[in-house]
Amino acid sequence: MSDGLYYPWPEAPVPGGWREVAPGVRWLRLPLPFALDHINVWLLADEDGWTLVDTGIGYTKIQPVWQTLFETALEGRPLRRILVTHYHPDHVGQAAWLSEHFGAPVWMAEEEYALASRLLSVSDEESSARMADMMVSHGLNGDLLEGLRRHGNGYRRMVKRLPETVHFLRDDDVITVGDRQWRVIIGRGHAPEHICLASESGDLLISGDQVLPRISTNISMRPGEESIDPLGLYLASLERLSALPASIRVLPSHGLVFDGLHHRLDALAAHHRVHLQHLLDACDKPQTAADVLPVLFKRELDGHSILFAMGESIAHLHHLHLQGKLRRSETEPYRYAR
């Protein structure tokens, strides 16, 4: 294939549908109301029920989709455990509802739960202001900012509530699910403690958003987290995954199941290396993150996609700054130069 990956099933399940990808491992699709219109979640056969990995966005209209899946994919058997890869709304959104419905515990990493709890507690005004202030300090201006200041706390609209208690998973934990064992590999950069699950037999990797086919994982700096280098953490996490067998089959949160993990890891690292070099070239004179958007993104950007793009642009410049390759101005808007 042109991207060097092999897709064993060229057709994904339709949203609300499912497919068995290995004995006792089912691929389910849930709808998402964005440009990215779906999320993959995984059902793992577990004793007399299932362990579920990820849950869908927290909109009530997803619940009828789940109710159908209870009878089809789950064959009427209960969820025994719910595992959440990271705090993003399409992954954690339905965790509280599913957990209550089945009386099933939720397992996730501590920092993910802490961040989700913090985001839920922020007021609309504060949430908007934090994001808009960060964008202004990195050179964004214009109509979009007005919209952003009225946007409120989008996280709370997509994750109405969290499970009250959570079992915390740590890096390198091994979980037994039915007759399989899965090792927790914590990935960083996209989220604070993103859980990937690698089967101990070396045949399957549930990669979440950490490794996706076709699209690159969003790497953004969050407001108030200037001491963190998300891109540096992400690149280090890619390297760590490269220790897994080349033949491992990858079950990602978006797109199709694929073979060719090492190929994909190399392509993602190269993608960021090229972007970093282009930014260094562009910063022969002082530039803001908004100035360099055309260096990173060749396509036309609108509304929401500008915010994602700004997040990426800031994260890349911040990485070069922390590495000592770019200097940052003392005053806002921040300008970066060699």
Site residues for Zn ion per CB under 5 A: 88, 209
Q: How far is the CB of 329 from Zn ion (least distance, A)?
A: 31
Q: Which of residues 88 and 316 has its CB atom nearest to Zn ion in the complex?
A: 88
Residue 31 is inside which H or E element, if any?
strand 25-31
End-to-end CA distance of the chain: 39
d(CA 149, CA 172): 41
Q: How far is the CB of 181 from Zn ion (least distance, A)?
A: 25
Pairing of strands 25-31, 18-22: antiparallel
Q: Which of residues 41 and 292 has its CB atom nearest to Zn ion in the complex?
A: 41
Q: How far is the CB of 85 from Zn ion (least distance, A)?
A: 8
Smallest CA-to-CA distance from 259 within 26, 22, 32, 84 is with 22
Kindly compute the dihedral angle of the four CA atoms of residues 82, 236, 325, 137, in this order, to the nearest 10 degrees: 0
Q: How far is the CB of 325 from Zn ion (least distance, A)?
A: 28
Q: Which of residues 115 and 204 has its CB atom nearest to Zn ion in the complex?
A: 115
Strand order in the sheet with 49-53: 18-22, 25-31, 38-46, 49-53, 79-83, 106-109, 167-169
Query: Are the beta carbons of 321 and 327 closer than 8 angstroms?
Result: yes
Q: How far is the CB of 254 from Zn ion (least distance, A)?
A: 9
Q: How far is the CB of 229 from Zn ion (least distance, A)?
A: 18
Q: Which of residues 128 and 220 has its CB atom nearest to Zn ion in the complex?
A: 220
d(CA 250, CA 265): 11
Q: Which of residues 92 and 296 has its CB atom nearest to Zn ion in the complex?
A: 92
Q: Which of residues 59 and 70 has its CB atom nearest to Zn ion in the complex?
A: 59
